[in-house]
Structure 1
Amino acid sequence: MNALTITRIIAAPTERVWDVLVNRMEEWWCPRPWRAEIVLQERRAGGAANMVMHGPNGEVMPNEGMYLAWDEGRRFVVTDAVRLDPATGTFLPSGPFMIGTWEVAAEGDGTRYTASARHWTEEAMKQHRDMGFEAGWNAAADQLQALCEAG
């Protein structure tokens, strides 16, 4: 399946984790000192999912994609294989790298948070792992967890 996954328990109610997950992305999405800027989010299957990541040395990494699923309160799924031109409503092929899934589910007194990246090829998965998937996605999850547990 060429997947990379992280999971953890966050000591906060699922509703709070979901709220922070989707409404405060700019605060947790990128490991600091990077930051994310939300450009357009159409929270529905087939909607645009566009952001720009900004690095500490002036790096700019646009991320344009499309939501494949938006299950309110539970999960969202995004791919960079297709992007939506908001001006025309046209779906355009893009350079596919992954399908990303972010999920929350009640577990005990907290919430299980799971984020995964599925890749078209084993080589793309290895490239993502070598780029620092585990450290980067765990750092972002640490930031998410801190915001959720801060109350």
Structure 2
Amino acid sequence: MTVISSTKNLEALSFTLVAEFAADVKRVWQIWEDPRQLERWWGPPTWPATFEQLDFEPGGKAAYYMTGPDGEKARGWWRITSIQAPTRLEFDDGFADENGAPVEAMGTTHATVTLEEIGDRTRMTVLSTFESEEQMNQMVEMGMEEGMKEAAGQIDAILAEHSHA
């Protein structure tokens, strides 16, 4: 397992996942910018993701859904706020209704992804910040921490397959 740590910080309303991979930064960046690679790990194994849209540029949007074991679909959206390839990505992330419209009541999470070279490995830090303690607790209750760990656990296999530099 590549996940080094996951830390909840209630004061900062944040959740941080740190993982390391036996691949260079440019290769790890591809699992974010390529929707076909992204959808193979963004959802945990029991809730695989399908990206219907990924405009990988500042101001770009993504639309995706995760399909549960019983066929239920949970939809989500991203709004990319910053890209500094290949080391930093920031986006707002939220839930969507069946038409893809944001579900305001669920709030928005802001994600900051940082990739850094550690020797011949890459350390990926995903910092998620929440709007309120209620929202954070709701996400934790929905299994966000476990889900993100399981999702990140799928990355090694993707990286091992091919690196098209």
**Separation of aligned partners in 1, 2:142 and 2:127:** 15
Poorly superposed stretches of 4+, deviation over 6 Å: none
Q: Is the 8 A contact 1:13 1:110 kept in 2?
A: yes
Q: Which residue of 1 aligns with 2:143?
A: 132
5+ residue gaps in structure 1?
84-91
Alignment of 1:72-151 (within 5 A): 72-80=85-93, 95=104, 96-150=107-161
Q: Is the 8 A contact 1:28 1:141 kept in 2?
A: yes
1:57 equivalenced with 2:70 (yes/no):
yes
Q: Which residue of 2 aligns with 1:89?
A: none
Q: Is the 8 A contact 2:64 2:77 kept in 1?
A: yes
Q: Find the residue that maps to 1:102 and give its secondary structure.
A: strand
Q: Which residue of 1 aligns with 2:52?
A: 39
Q: Mean Cα displacement is larger for which, 72-81 or 121-130?
A: 72-81
Could you say what the CA RMSD is over the residues aligned between the two structures, in angstroms?
A: 2.2
Q: Find the residue that maps to 2:64 and give its secondary structure.
A: strand
TM-score, length basis structure 1: 0.83
Q: Find the residue that maps to 1:40 and give its secondary structure.
A: strand
Number of equivalent positions: 143
Q: Is the 8 A contact 1:9 1:110 kept in 2?
A: yes
1:14 equivalenced with 2:17 (yes/no):
no
Q: Which residue of 2 aligns with 1:66?
A: 79
Give the C-alpha shift of residue 79 in structure 1.
1.1
1:3 equivalenced with 2:14 (yes/no):
yes
**Separation of aligned partners in 1, 2:31 and 2:60:** 20
TM-score, length basis structure 2: 0.77
- The share of aligned pairs that are identical, in percent, is 29
Amino acid at match of 1:28: W
Q: Find the residue that maps to 1:28 and give its secondary structure.
A: coil
5+ residue gaps in structure 2?
1-11
Give the C-alpha shift of residue 33 in structure 1.
2.2
Q: Is the 8 A contact 2:13 2:130 kept in 1?
A: yes
